[in-house]
Amino acid sequence: MHVLILGAAAGGGFPQWNCHCPNCKGLREGKINAQARTQSSIAVSSDGENWVLINASPDLREQINSRPQLWPDASISRGTRIASIVLTDSQIDHTTGLLTLREGLPLPVYCTDVVQEDLTTSFPLFTVLKHWHGGLVQHTIDIDFHQPFVPEGAQGLTFQPVVLESNAPPYSSYRDNIVPGNNIGLKITDDQTGNVLFYAPGCMQANKTVRQVMGEAHCVLFDGTLWANEEMIDHGFSTKLGTDMGHMPVNGENGAIALLNEFNVERKVLIHINNTNRVLDEGSQPYHSLREQGIELAYDGMELEV
Ligand code: MLT
Ligand code: MN
Ligand code: ZN
């Protein structure tokens, strides 16, 4: 299976437009060794022709325009290689790119019933988009891990939902009170090779299924939002811990590195990286420590063969 990282940053991107943290300022002023990153989205394909977009970021237009793999066939006047869309939650950074797709609707979109509820009530993107060629054609993802699904255009790949402990967005009626389905990860298996990709951009705590899938995976794309749980508080940007927002820190005893170190996975990659995260500075100790432990940092345009 082919995996394309369209955007590796968390909400806000890197640098974030109004942020002057050492990373954002350092990148703008050319004073740190770091790469800009757009907001969270990936695409997967089994044949390299038809792609499934997983999460649609506010930077989607720029992401599509800079990735030739997603450009339409030269013989048609308009079109796309994006055959369908899968959403892992109802966050702004994972859904507002749907607005960018309006000229190309209808398109199939797959999400859980509670994500569909958010996107038709408190953040009614699906409702708004009905005015463009009927809008998105919604398909419900059953949260049962044993109910696999194959999104349109993904023949040869099997998707399984992995319920994640995280949080729902601030506008959701499930904020701080989540139910299974507000956040899912995806286990994606290549039917031919049996190889497994595990994508989990927002995870606060690893449950049994997360651990099981990590044990089976050839490649894990995992929540790399914050280096430290207190990071946003320390910067004076928020009163919330990372875990309050639904993200485990990368560092520390209960962090992503410690979790990933428990498993023998060929490629361990952090994704959904917040602009404040120290690993973004490639001259920093956290970056070197990450690399020494065999963990990679996703970047825009990164291609993975799983
Ligand atoms: C998150 O992952 O917690 C959100 O994307 C944060 C945000 O939307 O800024
Ligand atoms: Mn996010
Ligand atoms: Zn910043």
What pLDDT digit, counting tens, does each position of 3-52 carry?
999 999 999 999 999 999 999 999 999 999 999 999 999 999 999 999 99
DSSP track, 172-208: STTTTS--TTSSEEEEEEETTT--EEEEES--SB--H
| Ligand 1 proximity of 93 Cβ (cutoff 6 Å) | yes
The best mutation among 19, 39, 40, 93 to test binding of ligand 1, ranked by most ligand atoms within 8 Å of the C-beta, falls on: 93
Of 147, 53, 154, nearest in space to 95 by CA? 53
Q: What is the pLDDT of residue 75?
A: 82
The closest residue, in CA terms, to atom 8 on ligand 1 is 11
The closest residue, in CA terms, to atom 5 on ligand 1 is 11
The Cα–Cα gap between 130 and 128 comes to 6
Taking the CA of 7 as reference, the closest ligand is 2
| Ligand 1 proximity of 182 Cβ (cutoff 6 Å) | no
| Ligand 1 proximity of 245 Cβ (cutoff 6 Å) | yes
| Ligand 1 proximity of 241 Cβ (cutoff 6 Å) | no
Per-residue pLDDT of the chain (306 residues; tens, 9 = 90+): 999 999 999 999 999 999 999 999 999 999 999 999 999 999 999 999 999 999 999 999 999 999 999 998 778 888 899 999 999 999 999 999 999 999 999 999 999 999 999 999 999 999 999 999 999 999 999 999 999 999 999 999 999 999 999 999 999 999 999 999 999 999 999 999 999 999 999 999 999 999 999 999 999 999 999 999 999 999 999 999 999 999 999 999 999 999 999 999 999 999 999 999 999 999 999 999 999 999 999 999 999 999
| Alpha-carbon dihedral 238, 295, 66, 137, rounded to 10 degrees | -70
Q: What is the pLDDT of residue 79?
A: 87
| Ligand 1 proximity of 58 Cβ (cutoff 6 Å) | no
Q: Model-level pTM greater than 0.85?
A: yes
Of 201, 141, 140, 155, nearest in space to 48 by CA? 155
Domain ranges within the chain, ordered by starting residue: 2-305
Please, which contacts does 189-196 make with residues 24 or more away whose CB atoms are closer than 8 Å? 189/157, 189/158, 189/160, 190/1, 190/46, 190/156, 190/157, 190/306, 191/46, 191/156, 191/157, 191/158, 192/156, 193/1, 195/1, 195/219, 195/306, 196/306
Q: Specify the CATH number of the domain 2-305.
A: 3.60.15.10
Q: What is the pLDDT of residue 294?
A: 98
The closest residue, in CA terms, to atom 4 on ligand 1 is 11
Of 129, 217, 119, nearest in space to 168 by CA? 119
Q: What is the pLDDT of residue 72?
A: 86
CB atoms within 10 A of CB 179: 12
Taking the CA of 24 as reference, the closest ligand is 3
Q: Which amino acid is at 221?
A: L
**Ligand 2 midpoint to CA 74 (Å):** 34
Angle 110-160-85 (CA atoms, 0-180°, nearest 5)? 25
Q: What is the pLDDT of residue 103?
A: 96
